[in-house]
Structures are given as C-alpha cells and as structure tokens.
Structure 1
Amino acid sequence: MATNTLKDRVRAATSDKPEPVAAVEGASADELHAAERSEGGETTDTVMTWLERYDAHFTKALPSHVDSRVFLAAVRDALPGLARCTPASLLQALLTCARFGLVPDGKHAVIKREGKLAVFVPMYQGYVELMYRSGRVGSVHVGMIHAGDEWNYEPTAPAPLDFTHKPALDVSREDRGKPILAYAFCWLAGGARSQVVILTREDAEEIRDEYSEAYQRARDAGRTDSFWHTDFDSMWKKSALRRLHKVVPMSAELVQLTRADDAGDAGQVQLFHAPDEDAQLLADAKAAHRAAEGSQEPRVPVPLPRKKSSGRSQPRRTTRRQRTTRRRRR
C-alpha cells in the first residue's frame, strides 16, 4: 500500500518496518499534486522525526555557511501551519529553501500552504542575501518613504545627488504617515551606484493584479491569505527589488531564485537546479543584464564597401599570337 499521506508516511518512518518513501527529487508534477492528506493529529515532534530521515539531503543541499540546526529550528517553528500539506510538497519546498541557503524564518523565506501544497516563497530579505552572496554588490538599500519623510528624487542629477531620503524617525508612526513609495538601489563592488528604482503604491497594485497568480487565485476563491493580502508592504519592497535586478548584474543563483519564486506563485512544482546548469544560468543572467542596461561601448565602425576596380586598371593579358606578331615587328 502506497504511503501518500503525511500521516501514513510518518507512521511508516517511525515504525519498526517502515515502508520506503519515494524520492522527491525525481517526483513529477502529477505525483506531487496527487498526494493527499487525511484529517489527523500529527504532532510537530512526529513530523520532525519523519523529516530527520532526510537529514543527509538537507545537509547536502545547505551551503556550508548555513547551520543545519538553525535551519531545522526554523522548520520546527513553521510546521504547525503546514499540517495539511502533502508530504511530497513539504519535503520539496524545504529542500528548495535549503538549496538557496535561506532559512524559513519569515524574513528571508517562508514555507506557505497553498491548499494541500507547501510552497517555498523567498522574501525580499532573501533576495538581498543572495545579492550580497554573489560578490557583485557592495551594499543593497531597500526602503519605504512615508508621507512625513524628507526626500528628493531628481533622475537627471548625477548620483548620488539624484536621490535622497531622510526618514522622520523623531516623530510618532502616526505623524510619519503611511508609506507612499518603495525604492531599491545598490552600490556595485566596483564603486558605481545602480539606477534607483521607485515604485508607487499604484505601481505595486498593478504588478500584483497583472502578475501574481497566487493573489488572483485567492481573490477568485474569496480568500485573503496571499502575501499581497497579509503583508502588502513587504511584497511592495520585493517588487522594487526584483525590478532592480533588471538593471544590475545577477548571479546564476539569483536567476534560479526568481524562477523558483515565479513557479511557486503560479502554483507549479518548484525544482532546484543541478550544478551543471550554473554556466547556462549565468549566461542567461549576463544576457538579461546587457539587454536591460544596454551596451555603453562604442560601436565598431562598419567598413565601407570597396569599389571594384575595372578591367582597364589591370594589366592586359596577351595571347601567343599577339606576342609573336610583336616580335616580328621588332
């Protein structure tokens, strides 16, 4: 009998004769979506016992700088909200999160329940973490301008005079006012500053309505549990940061993180890439950066076509008869 539900798999994992659990890495989309969970009362400790059977997988997926104990502690805290998720999707989401070296602590990443599926969702701090890790940026700045803040944006002025922001931190939150703009920019490792990306609330709402399938599914079902519903400001800043990626160099890992984020939002299976795909992803990232920013190098002049010389300018060829006639005349 197949162990498709979390309850069955936990029992199999903790029994004296556990049934084998299918490897998630090779699972198809149909297999991940077909697993169902029956109503039950699994405890967090029991589920953690089941997940610990895959400790070697998590250790292999996590980068060396991420402590596995910190990662698993964050997983334990998140498990109560994931009790209804299928085991295959839960394991897949956690392994994907580990692959990017992000801790599901609610700040860098979140494992969210979509129906019976667990979905890995990187937050804007997770994007910032991977930007720093790439070694291509010196500092990243993501923030929000409130109505009572002092700020100036003049895109025609030279950097860094084109944008300034002084938060009104000496007043109450009420006096500071509501957020009116989200912005993102970074200083590159070479010392140059990137373009400043600014999004109004209206811009963020347009991005939400046009591109977020998770928001649309929740809205159509009459639910208000998407991140655009529950944490609009974070998604607002995340949108500004993702738009910044179009004008700054991206690492292969950031390209893949964006793809995994989009797949989760679309309700598709999230798969982390194999190491041999890094070269192709890096090439895609460089191509996207060149297309967005435009080449600043002078164009190589195209040589003008040469005019073909006529036959008269070339020495004439003489026949044997002509040469014989010339010798006789001499």
Structure 2
Amino acid sequence: MSQIGNAIEKRDNGPASIIEQYKPELATVAASHVKVDTFARLAVGVLRQNPRLMEAAQTNPGSLMNALMTAARLGLEPGTEQFYLRPIKRKGRPEVQGIVGYQGIVELIYNAGAAVSVVVEVVRQNDTFLWTPGALDDQHPPRWPGAMKQPFHKVDWFGERGPLVGAYAYAAMQGGAISKVVVLNSSHIARAKAKSDGADTEYSPWRTDEEAMWMKTAARRLGKWVPTSAEKRSAVIERVNAIDLAAAPLSEVDPDEDDGPIEGELVD
C-alpha cells in the first residue's frame, strides 16, 4: 500500500471526511487553476451519487485519494468526462480507479498551450465524411487535386445517424498548422477495446458511454502528435513544424500501436 494509503488507514475512513482531511495535500499537488474546495465538493458529490463507488472508497480509501491526487495534479474535474471515478475489483477487493476521459485529454492539450482548437468526433453510418490528406495549410499548394488539410464531416443532427463506424481527431496549432489527423475505423476501435480489462462488464464505460470511449481512443492517439503538458510544448511544436504532416498516408498512424489499455475495468 502507498504511504498515503497507510496514513489514511489510521484516520477516519469515511470518504467525505478523508477528502476534507487531505485537502492540504490536494492543494500541494493541484494544478494552478484548480480550486481545491470546489474540487473536493465535486468528489464528495460523485461518491454520494454512486453506492458502488462509495463502497469502494470506504473499503479502500487509499485508492480514492490516489485517484483524486492524479486528477488534481492534471487539473481535471473528478467524476466528469474529464476524469472518471469508477469502482473496480482488484484481487477481489473493491477500490476506486481514476480514468482520464476524452474531455480530459482535450483539456490537457489546451492547457499545454500549443493548440488553439481541438476536434474530436465520432462518425456514424449516415454521416458524410471525406478525408483526402495532402494539403498542409493555406500557404502550401495541395499535392494533388482534392487534397485536404482537415476532414470534411457533415451531420444531420436531427435525423437518424445510424451506428458508430469511426472516430477522428486533430488540432489546429499556434501559427496555423494542422496536426496529424487521426482517423480510426471500427476495427481499430475494437482492437483498442480488446485491450481493456472488463470492457464487457455491466458498468464499463465501453457499455455505458460507448461514444465517449470511441472519442477517447482517437484523442489518446492524437496525444502522440500534440503536447499534453507544458514541458512537451516546445519539442512537439518543433516536431510539427519539421514533419510534412500531409505526406504520409493515413495508414502510417498505426492504430495497433500498443499505448496501453483504454481503461475500463469495473465492478461486475
């Protein structure tokens, strides 16, 4: 058990009380824009709305605080699509798992300061989606007729869009360049889902919020091409400026590259 876990075992193990007691520690690690009082209230509210999560927090308060410390350090709101709090079982014992959601990844990209806008969307069967890479930006001529610098996606928001068929993500960078465009089809998403422990359990986000998990998969791959922390900003801007982002075909965005499981192991 971690040091924070050992310390918590010696204190009142009520989750709300634990969060209150450890607000100074949260404030120490929290990103500069995080208001710790608000952060703590959000966390307590999430626990009270989910009996299974409350049980996991009571059983293993150390795991709760470890998850909250991570959320605070990243500057993400707990219990939202930025940072999920989920009850899981590890070796038969309930605990709290923190999961960065797709909105959290987007928030990290914005916070790094190199991107001025981030697009992460799913594509459904009846949408119109066109993507022919080959144009870098407005100052560079396209490599061939019809070449595009970013996808065209038309949606009938009030019609029947049909089942999910893909997801994509890209960012507009400082200076006007467009990042690598990540496009994933249903097979790519299925392979990512297969890496997730417990993806088919009742409370898995792959079942309760499938669209968000498709977007998370695309956003996570986008994180390879744009900075998600201030420390990475300079290096990634240099990389974006140096690489001909339009020259490589889409297949070079390796959808099977192992960047770890897309988290989602939940209590049965």
TM-score by length of 1: 0.59
Is 1:165 the counterpart of 2:153 in the alignment? yes
Matched AA of 2:170: F
Aligned length: 219
Please report how far the alpha carbon of residue 252 of structure 1 lies from its aligned counterpart in structure 2 after TM superposition.
4.2
Within the candidate set 217, 222, 229, 1:239 is matched to 217
Change (3 A) 1:123 1:152: same
Which residue number in structure 1 is paired with residue 168 of structure 2?
183
Q: Deviations over 1:123-164 (max 9, x none)?
A: 000011110010111110011122222221112355555521
1:60 & 1:180 partners in 2: Cα distance?
43
Q: Deviations over 1:19-51 (max 9, x none)?
A: xxx841xx6xxx79xx8xxxxxx9xxx531232
Task: Report which structure shows greater RCO (CA 8 Å, sep ≥6).
Answer: 2
Please report how far the alpha carbon of residue 295 of structure 1 lies from its aligned counterpart in structure 2 after TM superposition.
5.3
Which residue number in structure 2 is paired with residue 82 of structure 1?
54
1:251 & 1:224 partners in 2: Cα distance?
31
Which residue number in structure 2 is paired with residue 146 of structure 1?
124
Please report how far the alpha carbon of residue 293 of structure 1 lies from its aligned counterpart in structure 2 after TM superposition.
9.5
SS of the residue corresponding to residue 19 of structure 2 reads helix
Which residue number in structure 2 is paired with residue 99 of structure 1?
73
SS of the residue corresponding to residue 176 of structure 1 reads coil
Within the candidate set 208, 216, 236, 2:193 is matched to 208
Residues 82 and 112 of structure 1 are in contact (CA less than 8 Å); yes or no, is this contact kept in structure 2?
Answer: no
Please report how far the alpha carbon of residue 202 of structure 1 lies from its aligned counterpart in structure 2 after TM superposition.
1.7
1:187 & 1:246 partners in 2: Cα distance?
15
SS of the residue corresponding to residue 205 of structure 1 reads helix
Q: Deviations over 1:67-118 (max 9, x none)?
A: 2232112111221423233011111111111111111132111111111121
Change (3 A) 1:124 1:73: same
Matched AA of 1:109: F
2:170 & 2:34 partners in 1: Cα distance?
26
Percent identity, please.
29
1:135 & 1:162 partners in 2: Cα distance?
21
Which residue number in structure 2 is paired with residue 195 of structure 1?
180
Which residue number in structure 2 is paired with residue 109 of structure 1?
83
Runs of 4+ residues deviating >3 angstroms:
156-162, 292-296
Residues 138 and 187 of structure 1 are in contact (CA less than 8 Å); yes or no, is this contact kept in structure 2?
Answer: yes
Within the candidate set 39, 43, 64, 1:71 is matched to 39
Residues 142 and 185 of structure 1 are in contact (CA less than 8 Å); yes or no, is this contact kept in structure 2?
Answer: yes
2:56 & 2:43 partners in 1: Cα distance?
15
Residues 182 and 199 of structure 1 are in contact (CA less than 8 Å); yes or no, is this contact kept in structure 2?
Answer: yes
2:214 & 2:28 partners in 1: Cα distance?
33
Q: Which runs of 5+ in 1 are unaligned?
A: 5-21, 36-41, 254-277, 297-330
2:135 & 2:33 partners in 1: Cα distance?
40
1:148 & 1:135 partners in 2: Cα distance?
35
Which residue number in structure 2 is paired with residue 313 of structure 1?
none
1:88 & 1:74 partners in 2: Cα distance?
18
Residues 156 and 162 of structure 1 are in contact (CA less than 8 Å); yes or no, is this contact kept in structure 2?
Answer: no
Equivalent runs, 1:37-76 vs 2, <5 Å? 46-76=14-44
Residues 105 and 228 of structure 2 are in contact (CA less than 8 Å); yes or no, is this contact kept in structure 1?
Answer: no
Matched AA of 1:67: K
Residues 185 and 194 of structure 1 are in contact (CA less than 8 Å); yes or no, is this contact kept in structure 2?
Answer: yes
TM-score by length of 2: 0.71
Please report how far the alpha carbon of residue 64 of structure 1 lies from its aligned counterpart in structure 2 after TM superposition.
2.7
Change (3 A) 1:66 1:200: same
